[in-house]
Homo-oligomer: A and B are copies of this chain.
């Protein structure tokens, strides 16, 4: 009586969803057997498996991954933390990561820091709260708290975009300094002498700044003037590129080459040059960085430093998956490199 009574004041917390226990009852087995039938089918007799599958179907059971996560101390979720979702570069990397991760049964939890390292730190705390299987972060610079938390975490962490020495765990990226140097060197080799760097959002985007620094050191080492810089506060857009070209054409003396910190800026500048009838590279040369597909469709084709973004994403995901599979991936630090694609704009 007593027991029945205490039981009768039903909890209404659950969502009324079909649970594993319901399936077990329907199939006439213990809950754990249902769990096994679903998660490791081989460890259960075919007969039972069939009965369970039938019950699952009949009841429309959908596993509660939250509960599973709590019990197993981990969900099949991989948070991916990037500075911005409005930059094409990140999108392509994310896309590649997502493809690879989903094919392995993981879900991608996306979050953007809006270029703010403090926000990144908060986000890391938040997403760790979901007991994810691993984490993917952007860049090598983080708040100390992020680094210490993640280092002691015991699960795979991959830092992407930037390649370097001091990593939390694993790393796939490219060296910003080399990128900046490569384009500067190319432009100097072509005979340009007044080479301006065009960047945007540089105060927040430290990787963009790294490229600029690479550019400047290369120029300085060659004895060139490295002080030609056009900086814009807002994020890169065709409009900013167009604006840069206009300003350049009004300068005197005027730069003879523009090293744009990404292809959006470069394309914007080039399209504006087309519109104004400015000869490229006759009056001014334009070089970009990224290897966006638009580069090759412009007239003239844009010279650009192509970074294999999709490849970077895929490799990041694979490093993670390898570790999750219990392996110890070879070369956990990878410089993905880049290629100078010579168009006709320089």
Contact = CB atoms under 8 A, between A and B. Distances in A.
A299 to B, nearest CB: 5
B238 A293 contact: yes
Contact of A86 (B85, B95, B298): B95
Interface in A91-139: 91-92, 94-95, 98, 102, 107-112, 125-131
Interface stretch (A62-70, A173-181, A321-329, A335-343): A62-70
B15 A66 contact: no
A14 interface: yes
Contact of A109 (B62, B107, B242): B107
A343 to B, nearest CB: 13
A201 interface: no
A275 interface: yes
A239 B109 contact: no
A41 interface: no
Question: What is the size category of the interface that chain A forms with chain B?
Answer: 35 or more
Contacts of A102: 111-112
A75 interface: yes
B239 A293 contact: yes
How many copies, total? 2
Contacts of A274: 274, 299
Contact of A110 (B13, B66, B108): B108
A72 to B, nearest CB: 8
A193 to B, nearest CB: 29
Given A111-B108, A129-B62, A274-B274, A73 B14 contact: yes
A25 interface: no
Contacts of A85: 91, 94-95, 98
A297 B129 contact: no
11 contacts: A60-B149, A62-B149, A65-B126, A65-B129, A66-B66, A66-B69, A77-B130, A86-B91, A98-B110, A98-B112, A274-B274
The 4 lowest CB-CB distance pairs between A and B, nearest first, are: A65-B129, A85-B95, A238-B297, A110-B110
